[in-house]
Structure 1
């Protein structure tokens, strides 16, 4: 939708749910216009004795703007109000019977009341008060020039217009109150859904902590105490157990930070800094200790925290897939910054060859396939691109390009 379309005023009752209600203002305006136009000409010429040309001009000015009132009631009021006052002044130049209403004949009163209903449905209170004061002032001012003396009928338009404005304004405010109440109910329902989601996230966090933390703690304790429980361990084996314990402790701490995010959506659980480019080297070292020969080309670029975290997670998932599906495969990990005339990008590349020997069985059963989905989501949120797929020699390639300019990471 263009800005011009957004600023275009809507017709009265255009937001109603039922079609006949949306069409009703147009129908009423059309009926009033068609009925009042010839009636005004007839009454002004025959009953009041006004010149036919003047009567026709006044009839058009008093009845035709009622169609405009469906969309622009205030503009229509300017035209009709001036036409009604001009009609009253024009009638002062002719001799009509005392029984006839003046300054405003019956057909003008009917059209003006319909216009007041439209005003009440659209305009604010201040405007409605000014309209009524203008109507009352015109009645009082014209009363001093009454051809047959003043009478109670001269204030009829003032009374009826005030009632119409008040009634329409009350209906509009009632509708607005119901609409706001419906919005509040919708917001309340959304809040209930949000609380339900948070409770479910907290429950998942507790269950994850009970299951995963227990097993990771057991691994850490067993690896730490292996040197004391088992005799005759060589230095290489002791170092291997020490590395396993350190990796388990690091994984346990990272899991606790993620569980803190699940418990608190504002992220107050993330008390420790998130990993970035500088931590990728540790990932590579841990993967190498798992028996995967890895060549690493680091990058010392100063990147936003979100980009650094995305790069770390992409490398982490890619190396984990190598360990799972291609153990022992030679792997290259490269993180580099590329600068062009248009932008600056961080390129993350993880390429592994085929494994030396096809694994007899997968390292993990029942893989979810969420790793690649998570990569794509991280790259999409950063505004970058991701290219993944198998290579002709049986290896696999993961290439991510993350923009460092042109996006607000704050």
Structure 2
């Protein structure tokens, strides 16, 4: 009849929000103890004729565990149940009046019912059923040994105990159900807030696309038509306008592909391939034509698509930061694959390195206005998140000479040579 909850030291109703509710079990326990202890001694000694010392001892073991019931009701029940049965057997040795009830005097019934209430508030149904069966068995069994026609009240104790157990268990389960509903409501509200946040982000992304797409479209049209609108353009300038238009179209294509996921949950994106290592050279070349001296060392081997895309995005963001914050600074970009070292379990890694020096003073190609008045700080965060998802590391920070260094190592999946 043991229970896992028996080892819990928390008092009954300790989780209640109101202080008077938390103190209620202690108040009832002390009230029963101080009221039943002298009453039990008086009734057992004066009415039933029991020896004063024996009456006092039985009264203590029948009422003192009621204080323990606030914290450990099952352990208190063991003690009270044994004491009540022992008291009934002791009363068989004395000659008491037939008008008195047996085997459980009224004060014992009051204490036992209070104990059953404590059990119902703490113990599971299986334990409560076993407690009731033990109570019914003791009550019915003792009635068969009733002396000289004394009225037995074992059945009364069985009924009152069952009512107390069922009532307290129903109150406890109702409270647990209400608490579960409150927790579920809290979770639902949190999920609703999270969904609202995601919807708001998606709406902002759509609006941002509309704004940026408009300006990018204008740039594309102007660059495409420059050769027709402007007379006698030099070949290098014509090639520059063609490159600007191609870059703008690629940017619009990537934006539309990403936005398709936001606008249609069932969309799986366009079939156009994602950029990879092969496109890094094109991006570096376009950046160099914009006036940034860039030296590029490509990777000679193939790598998985996820790592190639991450490398492309890291280089893209790093070069964008150089253009924003150090225009005209000499920059070195390298992408290389390294095999696992001897005795190392790290495996092959793809190393992406972007290092720029300090910007020239004055800038080689000063802008009429800075590209950005202030950075958002999301670039490095995005790079770190990409690297983390692929199990790699990112080291980014300023250099002593005033430049900046971004170094990422991406863990490559083991290649299948079978």
- Measured in 1, the distance between the counterparts of 2:117 and 2:350 equals 64
1:259-274 alignment to 2 at 5 Å?
259-260=259-260, 262-263=262-263
Query: Using the alignment, how far apart are the partners of 2:254 and 2:311 within structure 1?
Result: 16
Aligned-pair CA distance for 1:292: 1.8
**TM-fit CA distance, 1:117:** 0.9
Structure 1: where are the runs of 5+ without partners? 406-410
- Cα offset, 1:255, TM superposition: 2.0
Q: 1-side partners of 2:406 and 2:156: how far apart?
A: 83
2:401 corresponds to which of 378, 393, 399: 393
Aligned to 1:175: 175
Aligned to 1:374: 381
Aligned with 1:350 (options 346, 349, 354): 354
| Alignment map for 1:298-377 (pairs within 5 Å) | 298-299=298-299, 300=301, 302=303, 305=306, 310-335=310-335, 341=344, 343=346, 347-356=351-360, 357-358=362-363, 359-372=366-379, 374-375=381-382
Partner Cα distance (1:335, 1:95) in 2: 103
Change (3 A) 1:268 1:183: farther
How many matched pairs? 399
Distance in 2 between the 1:404 and 1:225 partners? 44
Contact 1:201–1:263 (Cα < 8 Å) also in 2: no
Aligned to 1:290: 290
Q: How many angstroms does 1:373 deviate by?
A: 5.3
Separation in 2, partners of 1:336, 1:31: 81
**C-alpha separation in 2, matches of 1:108 and 1:141:** 17
The alpha carbon displacement at 1:103 in A equals: 1.2
Inter-partner Cα distance in structure 1 for 2:99 and 2:410: 86
In the TM superposition, what are the counterparts of 1:207-226 in structure 2 within 5 Å?
A: 207-226=207-226
C-alpha distance in structure 2 between counterparts of 1:267 and 1:348, whole Å: 34
Residues 388/86 of structure 1: CA separation in 2 closer, same or farther (3 Å cut): same
- Cα RMSD of the aligned pairs, angstroms, is 3.7
Summarize the Cα distance change of 1:313–1:9 in structure 2 as closer, same or farther, 3 Å threshold.
Answer: farther
Shift, 1:309, TM fit: 5.1
Instruction: Please give the residue correspondences for 1:104-123 in structure 2 after superposition, counting only pairs within 5 Å.
Output: 104-123=104-123
Corresponding residue number in structure 2 for 1:130 = 130
Quick check: 1:89 aligned with 2:89? yes
> Counterparts of 1:52 and 1:399 in 2: how far apart (Å)?
90
The residue correspondences of 1:151-190 to structure 2 (distance < 5 A) are 151=151, 153-190=153-190
**1:50 and 2:57 are equivalent in the alignment:** no
2:220–2:248 CA contact under 8 A, matched in 1 = yes
CA separation in 2, counterparts of 1:225 and 1:27?
90
Q: Please give the per-residue CA displacement for 1:384-403, whole angstroms capped at 9, x wherever unaligned.
A: 66554443433222344567
How big is each residue's C-alpha offset from its partner over 1:47-106, in whole Å with a ceiling of 9 and x where there is no partner?
Answer: 333345554554444333333322332333233223322222222222222232311122
Distance 1:88 1:10 in 2: 33
- Mean alpha-carbon deviation: is it higher for 314-323 or for 349-358? 349-358
Q: Is the 8 A contact 2:314 2:383 kept in 1?
A: no
Q: CA offsets, 1:206-240, max 9 Å, x none?
A: 31232111222232334344455555555544443
2:16 maps to 1:16: yes
Whole-Å Cα distance in 2 between the matches of residues 279 and 86 of structure 1?
Answer: 91
CA contact (8 A) 1:310 1:378 kept: no
Partner secondary structure for residue 398 of structure 1: strand
What is the rounded CA distance, in whole Å, between the counterparts of 2:230 and 2:261 in structure 1?
A: 39
**Structure 2 unaligned regions, length at least 5:** 414-418
Determine the C-alpha separation between the residues in 2 that align with 1:174 and 1:43.
39
Query: Could you give the per-residue CA deviations for residues 288-328 of structure 1, whole angstroms, max 9, x where no partner exists?
Result: 232222223445585793x6655443322221011123223
1:22 is displaced (CA, Å) by 1.8
Question: Which residue number corresponds to residue 256 of structure 1?
Answer: 256
Bigger CA drift: 290-299 or 46-55?
A: 46-55
TM normalised by structure 2 equals: 0.79
> Scaled by the length of structure 1, what TM-score is found?
0.81
CA distance in 2 between counterparts of 1:69 and 1:403 reads 60
